[in-house]
């Protein structure tokens, strides 16, 4: 009788272990596939009182290759799901900007913040950050440097104050936060490259 009870316990523990591993794998897959999902509220943060259309596309092998080649490192993978919002005007609201809103997570030493960029004609037209302890450190002055900055411009963040007198000049960093500034710059550039590859 005692042996049977021990056997049942071993079987039960084994089953729980299998379920736990499968559950962790599922969560890991979901996290990798959708690190931070963009929402309509995110699009509205940049373009209030507009019409928002959600889009999701899996990158083809060729699109992923072109993006990685342009960025100079493996930033995407084939079949990766890219989510974004197309922003249009309401018929009765002829004014207002249109664009395509992307979200890119930016890893920092204190966690991850969400970078939102509205792209139109290959350039950022509106930017915002949210979430994460580092979001408060990101100033409007820093983000404004990206407005109208296409992929032909440098996305290098300068360290030396004398470098800002060069033409073209590098981006001025957030005071005391060079690494965070550079990661945000790289994220903005990645969004522009993805938008270019998707033709949006």
78 and 158 assigned to the same domain: yes
Return the pLDDT at 169: 78
72 and 155 assigned to the same domain: yes
20 pLDDT more than 90: no
29 pLDDT more than 70: no
∠ CA 94-100-101, nearest 5°, is 115
pLDDT, mean of residues 53-71: 96
Return the pLDDT at 36: 64
69 and 141 assigned to the same domain: yes
4 pLDDT more than 70: no
Outline where DSSP puts E strands in the chain. 51-58, 81-88, 99-108, 111-120, 123-130
95 pLDDT more than 90: no
18 and 99 assigned to the same domain: no
- Tokens for 144, please give them: 């404004």
Confidence of residue 94 (pLDDT cuts 50, 70, 90): low
- Please give the helix or strand (H or E) that residue 193 lies within, else none: helix 178-198
- Spatial distance between the Cα atoms of 122 and 161, rounded to a whole number of angstroms: 29
Q: DSSP readout, 12-65?
A: HHHHHHHHHHHHHHHHHHHHHH-SS---HHHHHHHSTTSEEEEEEEEPPHHHHH
Q: How many domains does the chain have?
A: 2
Q: Average pLDDT, whole number, for the chain?
A: 83
21 and 72 assigned to the same domain: no
Q: Which tops the pLDDT comparison, 12 or 136?
A: 136
26 and 40 assigned to the same domain: no
184 pLDDT more than 70: yes
Which of 13-27, 45-59, 105-119 has the weakest average pLDDT?
13-27
Confidence of residue 37 (pLDDT cuts 50, 70, 90): confident
Query: Per-residue pLDDT tens for 121-151?
Result: 999 999 999 988 888 899 999 999 999 999 9
- Spatial distance between the Cα atoms of 45 and 24, rounded to a whole number of angstroms: 33
Give the percent of the chain with pLDDT over 90.
65
166 pLDDT more than 70: no
pLDDT, mean of residues 60-89: 96
Taking alpha carbons only, the member of 146, 162, 144, 142 closest to residue 154 is 146
102 and 46 assigned to the same domain: yes
27 and 72 assigned to the same domain: no
Query: Containing domain of residue 3, as a range?
Result: 1-33
22 and 99 assigned to the same domain: no
14 pLDDT more than 90: no
For 171, the 3-state DSSP assignment is strand
- Spatial distance between the Cα atoms of 188 and 182, rounded to a whole number of angstroms: 10
Taking alpha carbons only, the member of 51, 47, 40, 120 closest to residue 90 is 51
Q: Which tops the pLDDT comparison, 13 or 89?
A: 89
18 and 88 assigned to the same domain: no
127 and 165 assigned to the same domain: yes
pLDDT, mean of residues 65-87: 96
- Spatial distance between the Cα atoms of 185 and 59, rounded to a whole number of angstroms: 23
State if pTM tops 0.75. yes
- Spatial distance between the Cα atoms of 83 and 118, rounded to a whole number of angstroms: 13
92 and 11 assigned to the same domain: no
């Amino acid at each position: 009788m005692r042996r049977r009870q021990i056997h049942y316990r071993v079987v039960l523990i084994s089953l729980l272990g299998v379920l736990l591993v499968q559950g962790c794998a599922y969560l890991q897959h979901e996290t990798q596939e959708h690190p931070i999902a963009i929402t309509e509220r995110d699009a509205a943060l940049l373009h209030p009182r507009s019409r928002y259309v959600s889009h999701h596309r899996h990158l083809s092998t060729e699109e992923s290759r072109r993006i990685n080649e342009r960025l100079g490192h493996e930033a995407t993978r084939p079949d990766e799901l890219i989510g974004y919002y197309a922003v249009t005007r309401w018929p009765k609201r002829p004014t207002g900007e249109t664009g395509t809103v992307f979200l890119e997570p930016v890893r920092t030493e204190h966690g991850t913040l969400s970078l939102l960029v509205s792209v139109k004609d290959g350039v950022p037209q509106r930017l915002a950050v949210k979430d994460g302890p580092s979001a408060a450190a990101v100033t409007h002055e820093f983000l404004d440097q990206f407005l109208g900055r296409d992929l032909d411009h440098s996305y290098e963040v300068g360290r030396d104050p004398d470098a800002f007198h060069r033409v073209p000049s590098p981006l001025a960093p957030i005071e005391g936060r060079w690494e965070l500034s550079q990661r945000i710059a790289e994220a903005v550039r990645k969004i522009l490259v993805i938008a270019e590859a998707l033709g949006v």
